[in-house]
Amino acid sequence: MSAVLSPVTSIVSDMVSGRTSTSAHITAVLENIKAVNPRVNAFTDILDERALAVAAGIDRRKAAGQKLGALAGVPFAVKNMIDVAGLRTRAGSKINSEERAPAKRDATLVRRLEAADAILVGTLNMGEYAYDFTGENAHYGPSRNPHALDHMTGGSSGGSGAAVAAGMVPISLGSDTNGSIRIPSTFCGIFGLKPTYGRLSRFGSFPFVSSLDVLGPIARSVDDLALCYDVMQGSDQEDPVSCCRDVEPTSRLLDRGVEGLRIATAVGHFSRNSEPEVLQAVGRVAQSLDVRRQIEIPEAQRARAAAQVISAAEGAALHLDRLRAQANNYDPIVRDRLLAGAATPAAWVIKAQQFRRWYKDQVLQLFKSVDVILAPATPCRAPKIGQQVLDIEGETVPLRPALGIFTQPISFIGLPVVTVPIWIDGGLPLGVQIITAPWREDLGLRVASYLERAGTCKGLSS
Amino acid sequence: MSRETKQGSNNLSVEQIAEAALALHGLSLSMGGRDGILLSFSALADAAAQVIEFDLADEIEPAPIFKA
């Protein structure tokens, strides 16, 4: 296995032992990115100068006998709605890339990863203003699924999924409002963590729907996912919704297995509305975990509807000035959705927020009798780029909104989710959501690790 | 394109409603693709109808800033 494709722990071991210089390693990483990126269109900025300067600094500290961080020499890249000092934070848009002032400093999560000696190598393609599920972008072109280049990565963190799946970086950061980490992780066959709302700082990221937005990692293995997540934890006074919880490390808990965990499979909304192999994937995970219990999340479809209303209204409110001044500079599909959101009556939003409170109370009740809920991540495998509709159970529906059918009812109340990749029938990957109560990311990661060790789900370093 | 919702029938078309609401923000349907906007707005109206038809107690506090 090349250094570029090594697990995070191997990279760190090589850097700490001095078997490889960090500068040489990062040079190889950058060369690989430049060789691969033209095929998958994951990166929008490659940060050679910055990355090599940080690598040289790590080499100097190593030579001076100083201790290196937990992610020494590990390259990472971030969705281009996350601030990087000196760059205009594009958020997938033409407007920001031309008019937004360059960021004065790095986002909190970038700073925390670099404080652990990880190395930022670039920023990543995404759907414009995160208002998509496909990974397509009218300005910068679609990110392409490394497993089938004419297929979608999923979005909106499409570049984040493609960069990891293509072996360009072992970890990336994405954001998830209605499914934007979980959908690309699924379509690209890798692991994703959507943390509890408020768990990880969002400071220095361009918002979409503030009451739903979270940032989180995408990785090739559960170990890598947990290592990355652990160093990013901790409250941040600069993000008003950041939690005040202590850091709760998960990496050391991954080998605890699943014995004693109460796990159920979601049915009802989550056992309809999908292609048959999607449910096969969930069944395979349930079988591996010896799960027989089923549970219904009440009113999940209505929760999805409420999430759509809130997303449309909050998202549009953020863009009113830009829509007035330069509607033509948006991706037309995004623009039309934002304009529709701008027309949303306040009463719809308030009712949706009221329903949100009710729904949260109902779902949290479920977690008194279960620890983990399994559900599909997407209704289908990665569609072809440009595909507009989806045929599900004999009905033809618009593709874009349908991709969030299983993710929206979960993020609507801020629950943490780990998505695991499932490969069946030799086709493109599928994904399963491992859903837990708020702040119990540790349980989701434990279950994911168990499934990975059992061979039920396979990332790209398994 | 007229619409009858569970919130009650109205005599305004979706197009008229959207145009009037957008005008309050200094926006208009002509700033985008009229059909695309109306399609999205209709989908939102359908989604909102699902929420509004659900019987909730008056005392339930809306969650403008959600805390998990």
Tens of pLDDT, residues A81-132: 999 999 999 999 999 999 999 999 999 999 999 999 999 999 999 999 999 9
> Which has the closest alpha carbon to A188: A217, A222, A159?
A159
| Contacting residues for B46 by C-beta, under 8 A, at least 6 apart | A305
> Chain A contact for B5, CB < 8 A?
no
Q: Give the closest of A302, A320, A413 to B51, CB-based.
A: A302
Give the integer Cα–Cα distance in Å for A189 and A193: 13
Q: What is the pLDDT of residue A420?
A: 98
- Segment A339-345 mean pLDDT: 97
Domain coordinates in residue numbering, chain A: 1-462
Lowest-pLDDT range, A177-186, A411-420, B52-61? B52-61
Mean pLDDT score, B28-46: 95
Spell out which residues of chain A touch residue B27, defining contact as CB-CB under 8 Å.
320, 323-324, 327, 339, 342
Q: What is the pLDDT of residue A162?
A: 98
Q: Is A438 on the interface with B (CB under 8 A)?
A: yes
A 153-172 residues inside an 8 A Cβ radius of B: none
ipTM of the complex as predicted: 0.87
Q: Binning pLDDT at 50, 70 and 90, where does residue B4 land?
A: very low
Per the annotation, the verdict on A274 as an active-site residue is no
SS3 state of residue A71: coil
- pLDDT value of position A1: 43
Place of tokens 């490390």: A249
pLDDT score at A460: 72
Q: Does the structure show a pLDDT above 50 at A443?
A: yes
The verdict on B1 touching A (C-beta cutoff 8 Å) is: no
- Euclidean distance between CA atoms A418 and A377, whole angstroms: 10
Q: What is the mean pLDDT of chain A?
A: 96
The sign one gets for the Cα dihedral B50, A198, A278, A37 is positive
For residue A210, give both structure tokens.
Answer: 């503030």
User: Nearest-5° angle of CA A49, CA A129, CA A176?
Assistant: 90
Q: Give pLDDT, residue A5.
A: 76
Q: Taking CB atoms and an 8 Å limit, are B25 and A342 in contact across chains? A: yes
Distance from CA of B8 to the nearest CA of A (A): 14
- Mutation target to probe the B interface, by most B beta carbons within 10 A, among A311, A339, A413 is A339
Annotated catalytic residue: which of A21, A93, A143, A156?
Answer: A156
Q: List chain B residues with CB under 8 Å of A324.
A: 25-27, 31
Q: Which one is the CATH code of A1-462: 3.40.50.12660, 3.90.1300.10, 3.30.390.30, 3.50.50.60? A: 3.90.1300.10
CB-CB under 8 Å, B52 with A351: yes
Distance CA B1, CA A319 (A): 27
Q: Using the beta-carbon criterion (under 8 Å), do B56 and A415 form an inter-chain contact? A: no
pLDDT-derived band at B1, boundaries 50, 70, 90: very low
Annotation marks residue A271 as catalytic: no
**For the whole model, what pTM was predicted?**
0.95
> In the predicted model, is pLDDT for residue B9 greater than 70?
no
**Would an 8 Å CB–CB cutoff place A456 in contact with chain B?**
no
Instruction: Write down the residue that tokens 């809920």 correspond to.
Output: A373
Q: What is the pLDDT of residue A100?
A: 96
Closest-CA distance of chain A to residue B36, Å: 6
| pLDDT bracket for residue A192 (50, 70, 90) | very high
Inter-chain contact A305–B33, Cβ cutoff 8 Å?
no
Segment A345-360 shows an average pLDDT of 95
Give residue B59's pLDDT.
86
User: Buried b / exposed e across A387-412, counting CB within 10 Å, b at 16+?
Assistant: eeebebeeeeeebbbbbbbbbbbbbb
Q: Do A351 and B31 touch (CB under 8 A)?
A: no
Question: For A125-161, what is each residue's pLDDT tens digit?
Answer: 999 999 999 999 999 999 999 999 999 999 999 999 9
Least confident of A274-283, A318-327, A392-401: A392-401
Asked whether the beta carbons of residue A306 and residue B51 sit closer than 8 angstroms, the reply is yes
Candidate list A21, A23, A62, A79, residue with the active-site label: A79
- Average pLDDT of the segment spanning A228-235: 98
Residue B64 has pLDDT above 70, yes or no: no
A353 and B63 within 8 Å at the Cβ level: the answer is yes
Query: Is residue A169 scored above 60 in pLDDT?
Result: yes
Is A392 touching B (CB cutoff 8 A)?
no
Residue A167: DSSP 8-state: T
Share of chain A above pLDDT 70, in %: 99
Cβ–Cβ pairs < 8 A, chains A and B? 139
Report how far apart, in Å, the C-alpha atoms of A222 and of each of A87, A312, A450 are: 31, 33, 9
Which A-chain residues 205-224 have CB contacts (< 8 A) with chain B?
211-212
Nearest CA distance, B48 vs chain A (angstrom): 6
Give the per-residue pLDDT at B10.
54
Other Cβ atoms less than 10 A from the Cβ of A183: the count is 34
